[in-house]
Amino acid sequence: MPVNINGYNKIKEQLQPFAATLIAVSKTKPAEDILAMYELGQRDFAENYVQELTGKYESLPKDIHWHFIGHLQTNKVKYIASFVHLIHGVDSEKLLIEINKQAAKVNRTIPCLLQVYISKDETKFGFDEKELEAVLQKISNNPSLFSSIKITGLMGMATFTEDNALIESEFAHLKKIFDQVKIKYRNSSIELTEISMGMSADYMFALPQGATMIRIGSLLFGERNYKPS
């Protein structure tokens, strides 16, 4: 299936008033589809599976920014630490510690977004507000323990629903949490600038609520054969 060039141009246009970045979610899609988007000027791509990401990283142009948006297992961090541009879904302190360790080994500082649980779907991951506060507090109190990661923002996923008002309120909730913690930790090593929220079905609700990154897969590359994890 060819990539949706009209869809790409339309989304780029819709993004303009919002100063948000389009992340093209290329999971399950072949390298040729990614190259077609690359030819249009797209440089930010996201993957959910470590093995698939490392394979694509090796075979595709090196100026691509590779985002990891899946549920990252601690034992797989080492495979992506040398090149990953941003890890969106960090949802435990244990994972953060492992990312820090692997980043140090390759002399990098890896930018990370903390995933916040904002939806009603039990299959989704993320910190609740209390846990988020606890992990941010720990990082700000112990910067030397986390010197090879940088928390640059928050990520969230809305409920999978037709109820647009619910989706909007969940994105607004994430923005509110973001504004609170951004101020609270502004004098620490934590400098929050990014809110990664919005996918093909709901990015139009995420943009007005303050998304700085939207993660779009099927609208650009067509439907996938298996469900996103």
Binding footprint of ligand PLP on the chain (CB under 6 A): 25, 27, 48, 69, 199-201, 215-219, 228
CB of 215 to ligand PLP, least distance (A): 4
What is the C-alpha separation between 81 and 83, in angstroms, rounded?
6
| Least distance in angstroms from the C-beta of 216 to ligand PLP | 5
Q: Which residue has the tokens 């100063």?
A: 19
- Here the tokens at position 214 are 């939207």
At 202, which amino acid appears?
A: D
User: Whose Cβ is closer to ligand PLP: residue 148's or residue 212's?
Assistant: 212
Measured from the CB atom, the residue of 48 and 102 that comes closer to ligand PLP is 48
Question: Which single residue brings its beta carbon nearest to ligand PLP?
Answer: 217
Nearest CB to ligand PLP, comparing residues 153 and 217: 217
Q: Whole-number minimum distance, CB 21 to ligand PLP, in Å?
A: 13
Q: Note whether 41 and 11 are within 8 A (CB).
A: no
> Closer to ligand PLP at the Cβ: 85 or 184?
85
Q: How far is the CB of 109 from ligand PLP (least distance, A)?
A: 23
Is 197:117 a contact under the CB 8 Å cutoff? no
31 contacts 60 by C-beta, under 8 angstroms: yes
Ramachandran angles phi, psi of 200, nearest 5°: -50, -45
User: At 34, which amino acid appears?
Assistant: I
